[in-house]
Every structure is written in structure tokens, then in C-alpha cells.
Amino acid sequence: MEDVQSRPSGVPLDIDRVGVKDLRLPLVVRDRESGTQHTVARVDLSVDLPAEFKGTHMSRFVDALESWSEGLDYASLRNLFSDIIERLKARRAYARFSFPYFLRQTSPVSRCSGLMGYDCAMSGRFEDGRITFTLEVRVPVMTVCPCSQAISDRGAHSQRAVVRIKTRFKGFVWLEELIEIARNSGSSPVYTLLKREDEKFVTESAFSNPAFVEDVVRAAAKALSEHPRITWFTVEVESFESIHDHSAFARIERFLEKD
């Protein structure tokens, strides 16, 4: 049958990325506590397309993913990238795996436990035999406004915020490490399960540690900068303000020189 995709393009422009989005598949990721964790990922796959070709072969992305039944680690992703490059005759390949990652959190007083899910992602670029990885986490925290607390006779406004971290690194970094950095940067972590004595503790602890969105992003950035293996990061904090009809945000990006 005729290979229409390989016909000359009517508009000879290189395409940076072309591929498929939102494929879903079971996934095994590394878990610091139990070794591995089973989850479900949404997967985007793409390659570059030279100007002389009309289109890419979309089915070959699915073929490559169907042939890939390994966990999410460096060696398995290298195998997936190499397969995609070979199947599509591309120079560069890209992949993104977005998935929920679950950790068991223990409440601070009653010691009740509950699973809490965090939105995570691993993305990669493959070119000339080299892979560049980016690891991402999205972590909710609680913040108490220092200004509101300072000017009010009683109380202060508080709200949930979200800390979004993206990192590149040398060696290996646990998802748990990034989640802990984010959880510790706000006025208080948030929990799945709290009893009354826990709510009292969390509320009083948060009000003893008020933090602007600027404070939260600086605290997270400081911890990321001090991590021995992280070489680049962005951290953005968005506060869903409880007394305003808008959000507040702050963002820091850093390239780090590590031996």
C-alpha cells in the first residue's frame, strides 16, 4: 500500500514535535517504602519531523508502547526511546508519563493513616543517544497570611496552596524527596484523614507559622538548591486565596553547579 506520510510536504517546514497524546496504560514506578508501586499513567509520545515528509506514522508510537512493558526507570525509558527512534526514523524523541503517586500519611496526634495521592510526571527527551529527564510533583499545602494575622484582632485568612516542582538531576531522586520538600514549605502540610485533636494541632501549628506565597516558594527553592543531586529546578507556588477572587503565585528557577 502507498505510504502517504512519506510523500513530499506541500509546505516544507520542519516540525519540532508530532505524535500522540493521552494514551493510558498501567505503570510500575519506584517506591521508597515498598520498592515498587502500581499506578496508571497518561502518556504523550512524539518525535521531530523533517520538512521533506508530509506526516509521521502515528500507529508506530502505539506499537512501541505496546511492546514496552517495563517499569518507569532510566534503562526502560532508553529502550522505549530507542524503539521509537528506530520505528519512526527520527532524530529526536519525547515522552511524558503523568500519573498519581500514593503515599500513606499519618496524622500528627491520633496517628491515623490515610493514602494521599499526588500528581506526578516524568518527561524525557532523547537525542544523539542522550536522555534528559525532568521529574515533576504537585503537592497541596496550607498557608496562613502573615499580613492578615498581623492586622487582625482575631484570626487570619488561610487557604490551600499548591507547590509545583520540576527538577533535573544527576543520579537518582525519589519522588518522596520532592514531595517532602513541598510539604514542608507551607504553613502546614495537608492530610487525608484528621481527627479533632489533629485538626486542633494542624490549625494551631499553621497559625504559628504564617507564610506568604513568597515565603513558601523561597523555602522550597532553598531545600531544592541544597539537594546534592538536583542540577536544575523550577518551583511555583499558587495560593487559592480565600478572601480574594483571584490566586496569588510566585516562581523561582535555578541552574545549579554540582560536582
pLDDT higher than threshold 90 for residue 258 = no
Q: Could you tell me the CA-to-CA distances from 158 to 51, 143, 149 in Å, in that order?
A: 53, 6, 10
In whole angstroms, how far apart are CA 130 and each of 44, 79, 82, 93, 236?
A: 19, 12, 10, 11, 28
Enter the C-alpha cell of residue 122. Answer: 516524568
pLDDT at 123 over 80: yes
Which whole-number Å values give the CA distances from 239 to 142, 192, 222, 250, in the listed order? Answer: 9, 19, 19, 9
Domains by residue range for the chain, with CATH: 14-255 (3.10.270.10)
What residue type is 149 in one-letter code? Q
Instruction: Output the CA torsion sign for 18, 24, 25, 31.
Output: positive
Q: At residue 2, does pLDDT exceed 50?
A: no
At 49 the pLDDT is 87
Task: Report pLDDT for 174.
Answer: 97
Per-residue pLDDT, 223: 98
- Distance between CA 9 and CA 196 in Å, rounded? 66
Distance CA 134, CA 129 (A): 17
Specify the pTM. Answer: 0.92
108, three cell numbers: 500528627
More confident residue, 70 or 127: 127
Determine the Cα–Cα distance for residues 215 and 165; give it in Å rounded to an integer.
15
Q: How far is CA 73 from CA 97, 122, 123, 174, in A?
A: 11, 10, 11, 11
Mean pLDDT of 140-166: 95
The answer to whether residues 49 and 18 touch, using CB atoms and an 8 Å cutoff, is: yes
Rounded to the nearest 5°, which phi and psi values hold at 5? -60, -30
The predicted-structure confidence for 33-56, as pLDDT tens digits, reads as follows: 999 999 999 999 999 988 887 767
Q: Determine the pLDDT at residue 155.
A: 87
Residue 170, pLDDT > 70, answer yes
Examine the pLDDT at 5 and tell me if it is beyond 60: no
pLDDT at 118 over 80: yes
Q: Please check the confidence at residue 4 and state whether its pLDDT lies above 50.
A: no
Q: Nearest 5°: CA angle at 118, between 33 and 243?
A: 140
Q: Who contacts 4 (Cβ-Cβ below 8 Å, separation ≥6)?
A: 54, 55
